[in-house]
Amino acid sequence: MDVQYEVPPQQVDKEFHYNFPTEIERSLTSVFAPRNILIVGAGIAGISCALALSKELTPFVPDLQITLFERHDVLSTSGGAINLTPVAQRHLDRLGVLEELDKMGSEGGTDVDAIEMFSARTGRPLGNIDFTDANGNGFGGYKGRRVMRIILSVAMLTVVERTKNIKMVYGKKLVRGEENEDQATLHFQDGTTATGDLVLGCDGVHSATRTHWVSPDCPSEYTGISFVQTVIDTNSIKSPIHFRSTSMNISRHGSLLASFCDREHEQIFLAAIVQFNEAHLPYCRIENGQDFVTQHRIKNLLHDQMQSRFGRSGIPCIREMATKSGDWMLYPVYQVRPGARWHTDRALLLGDAAHAMPPRDESAAYALDDSILFSRILAKHRHEPLPVAFKAYEDLRRNTVTTAFKASRRMWEKNRDLGFLEGRLKEWTLPFYIRNSKEQREAAWEFDATKITIPAPVEDSSMYSFGKSDCS
């Protein structure tokens, strides 16, 4: 077995592997290294963080215990399908999740070589967001993948189940948290509490960890855009399918994503990305406990929306898809403006809880990057108090995330309803935008959070660079 801790730090950072400590190191880490870690939320950030922490810290903290608290009683089946970029796939592979997805056969998702962009009006191809290089190879060996969210969750939980120091507790909705010098306490809606050394708030865009504890002045806000989603059987569509695996069909009334979501291409995930008035949201969301009449009214309303926005498309299968399904669901998209405070002395926000941005198919990768980077930093800073690791993490991460937020925002604006001329302009300029941003996009897919060098711990008195939130 390699004794990795003897390798100089720069070389250790190049690999994502266990560092096997000596007995002396073990006793040294006992002072500050957290033993009892509480994670709020079992989404992509929460589960990946639990797995990455177990991998990175277990060699130094043999009695490590990580507990995931999820508000739902069972896995949520809502949310449709998600696109995983090459970066996300690489991380999931290293965490053992991709192997589980692959074992699931067709349901484990479909390879995505490219998102093909089309004018919904004329059917004209506008360019591709490629997940392969000129030779058809994935970036670092990984292409894109579209998979149902529930299937991804099942694969992640399978890995959690076989990781002996991670425990999953369902039906625990965080309502508030508090901390003192020695520990942090979570308070759940059912009146119970949990106490630990370190809390990771991975509870998504509406995070209670953020709004009731770490950064109360940074609420989530509606972006003005919603997804209207459904899944249909491929063989219910009679017109020829115009895309290989995933298409984005652009119009001046929003964009319609149509993508296979299983390996056998038996199902198509449809998601219209459209402007939707905030005042109308409460009347358009299907909720548990609603009566049949209300649900029927909402479904008809969304069906009419789809028909009026995409029912006259120049692409026959898009026309058919838009008018066919009666099962559309509305998902309003929220964001958290850059500037939220990310940590206190014992709690840190990760994933959407810290920086939810309008999705452009990359946000899951950001949540995974967060988890892996933080776990590596915590392992490296295990001899220091937690805020030192928090600050090192924030120093490495804050600018990247703020830049990504701004880029997402700019892209997102293109989904607003446009006038006739603006709509044409969007169609004409999109191919240039896709070509011009290709290099930047592909560089991002080469990014590897397991390889970037983590600065060595330094004495620093200004640990709270973001002591105050600024979400304006």
Give rounded-to-5 percent helix, strand, coil for the chain. 40, 25, 40
CB 125 within 8 A of CB 315: no
Question: What is the CB-side half-sphere exposure of residue 140 using CA atoms within 13 A?
Answer: 18
Q: Is residue 64 a contact point for ligand FAD (CB under 6 A)?
A: no
Residue whose entry in the numeric block shows the structure tokens 């972006």? 223
Q: Is residue 363 a contact point for ligand FAD (CB under 6 A)?
A: yes
Member of 118, 213, 227, 243 binding ligand FAD (CB under 6 A): 227
Q: Which residue number, 45 or 52, has a Cβ lying nearer to ligand FAD?
A: 45
Of 94, 103, 206, 101, the C-alpha closest to 148 is 101
Member of 107, 352, 369, 394 binding ligand FAD (CB under 6 A): 352
- Strands 267-275 and 221-233 turn out to be antiparallel
Q: Which residue number, 353 or 372, has a Cβ lying nearer to ligand FAD?
A: 353
Question: What minimum distance in Å lies between the beta carbon of 415 and ligand FAD?
Answer: 12
Residue span binding ligand FAD (CB under 6 A) among the ranges 245-253, 289-297, 364-372, 412-420: 364-372
Q: How far is CA 237 from each of CA 63, 146, 262, 268, 331, rounded to the nearest angstrom?
A: 55, 20, 16, 10, 24
CB 128 within 8 A of CB 116: yes
3-class DSSP state of 299 = helix
Question: What minimum distance in Å lies between the beta carbon of 271 and ligand FAD?
Answer: 7
DSSP string, 88-137: HHHHHHHTTHHHHHHHTGGGG-EEESEEEEEETTT--EEEEEESB-TTSP
Question: What minimum distance in Å lies between the beta carbon of 398 and ligand FAD?
Answer: 17
Question: What minimum distance in Å lies between the beta carbon of 42 and ligand FAD?
Answer: 5
Beta bridge partners of 69: 40, 169
C-alpha–C-alpha distance, residues 127 and 435, integer Å = 8
C-alpha–C-alpha distance, residues 95 and 53, integer Å = 11
Question: What minimum distance in Å lies between the beta carbon of 306 and ligand FAD?
Answer: 16
Member of 70, 100, 130, 384 binding ligand FAD (CB under 6 A): 70
Q: Which residue number, 70 or 100, has a Cβ lying nearer to ligand FAD?
A: 70
- Reading the block at residue 271, the tokens are 């998601």
- For 73, residues 6+ apart whose C-beta sits below 8 A from its C-beta are 170, 171
Binders in 191-220 for ligand FAD, by CB under 6 A = 202-204, 208
Binding track, positions 36-55, relative to ligand FAD; x by CB under 6 A: ----xxxxxxx---------
Question: What minimum distance in Å lies between the beta carbon of 112 and ligand FAD?
Answer: 10
Residue span binding ligand FAD (CB under 6 A) among the ranges 132-140, 167-175, 376-384, 411-419: 167-175
Q: Is residue 367 a contact point for ligand FAD (CB under 6 A)?
A: yes
Question: What minimum distance in Å lies between the beta carbon of 79 and ligand FAD?
Answer: 7
Q: Which residue number, 200 or 392, has a Cβ lying nearer to ligand FAD?
A: 200
Residue span binding ligand FAD (CB under 6 A) among the ranges 115-123, 154-162, 172-180, 412-420: 172-180
Chain contacts with ligand FAD (rule: CB under 6 A): 40-46, 69-72, 82-83, 172-174, 202-204, 208, 227, 331, 333, 351-353, 359, 361-365, 367
